[in-house]
Amino acid sequence: MSKRWLREKKRDYYYRKAKAEEYRSRASFKLKQLNERFGLIRRGDKVLDLGAAPGGWMQVVKEIAGSSGFVLGVDLAKIRDFGLENVKSIQGDFTRKETIEKIKEILPSCDVIISDASPDISGVWDIDHFSSVELCRSALSIAEEILKPGGNFLVKIFQGEHTGEFFGEVKDRFTYAKMTKPEASRTGSAEIYVAAKGFKKRFIYA
Strand partners, 71: 47, 87
CA pair distance 62, 5, nearest whole angstrom: 31
Rounded distance between C-alpha atoms, residue 17 and residue 177, angstroms:
30
**CA 129/CA 83 separation, integer angstroms:** 36
Q: Which pLDDT value is given to residue 11?
A: 58
Taken in order of first residue, the domains within the chain and their CATH numbers are 29-70+94-151+159-184 (3.40.50.150)
Helix (H) or strand (E) holding 72: strand 70-75
| Residue 178 designated active-site | no
Q: What angle do CA 184, 190, 192 make, to 5 degrees?
A: 60
CA distances from 149 to 15, 41, 201 (A): 36, 15, 5
Give phi and psi for 109, each to the nearest 5.
Answer: -150, 155
The model carries a pTM of 0.90
- Which listed residue (32, 46, 156, 197) is catalytic? 156
Answer for the pair 24, 56: CB distance below 8 angstroms, yes or no: yes
Tens digits of pLDDT across the chain (206 residues): 556 655 555 558 888 888 888 888 989 999 999 999 999 999 999 999 999 999 999 999 999 999 999 999 999 999 999 999 999 999 999 999 999 999 999 999 999 999 999 988 888 878 889 999 999 999 999 999 999 999 999 999 999 889 999 999 999 999 999 999 999 887 778 899 999 999 997 654 33
pLDDT number for residue 206: 38
Q: What is the DSSP letter of 179?
A: E
